[in-house]
């Protein structure tokens, strides 16, 4: 696959996963989880999803386990939302960024800004 197409697919998968995990999944272990980046392989068969989580090591491990458990559901949702020939198999990893808490705050603010507002509010 073309490198530009791989980047576009990676960004589309990141946006959709962020929306699904943040706004649609009701698992309490995923409350403070944000998708920071996605790398789709050139053949579009695998995707490495880097997530930022808050809390101690145990809480982070529980969040990764919940994501791994929900990977089938997430793939199915991606197949429904994105018109891809192959929906990549999702592999979740913890972001190894030392300032992860500030990155989560940034991502949550960005997600709230992009969320459509109710037209009744001023």
Q: Cα separation of 79 and 91, whole Å?
A: 16
Read off the pTM.
0.76
CATH no. for residue 29?
3.30.300.20
When divided into structural domains, the chain yields a total of 1
Give the pLDDT means over successive 10-residue stretches in the chain (122 positions): 86 93 91 90 93 87 94 94 90 76 69 62 50
Q: In this structure, is residue 119 part of a structural domain?
A: no
Name the residue among 92, 103, 16 with its Cα closest to residue 61: 92
CA distances from 8 to 13, 38, 82, 109 (A): 9, 11, 12, 23
Q: In this structure, is residue 120 part of a structural domain?
A: no
CA-based angle 17:21:24, to the nearest 5?
115
Name the residue among 11, 18, 48 with its Cα closest to residue 35: 18
Q: In this structure, is residue 122 part of a structural domain?
A: no
Beta strands in the chain (DSSP E): 33-40, 46-53, 89-94
pLDDT of residue 1: 62
Across-strand partners of 47?
40, 90
pLDDT of residue 13: 94
Q: What's the domain range around 47?
A: 3-113
pLDDT of residue 62: 94
pLDDT of residue 95: 83
């Amino acid at each position: 696959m073309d490198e530009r197409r791989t980047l576009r697919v990676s960004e589309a998968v990141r946006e959709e996963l962020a929306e699904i995990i943040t706004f649609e999944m009701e698992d309490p272990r995923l409350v403070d989880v944000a998708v920071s980046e996605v790398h789709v392989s050139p053949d579009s068969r695998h995707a490495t999803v880097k997530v930022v989580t808050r809390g101690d090591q145990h809480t982070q491990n529980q969040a990764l386990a919940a994501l791994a458990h929900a990977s089938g559901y997430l793939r199915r949702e991606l197949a429904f939302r994105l018109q891809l020939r192959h929906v990549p198999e999702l592999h979740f990893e913890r972001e190894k960024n030392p300032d992860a808490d500030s990155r989560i705050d940034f991502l949550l603010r960005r997600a709230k800004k992009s969320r459509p507002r109710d037209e009744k509010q001023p």
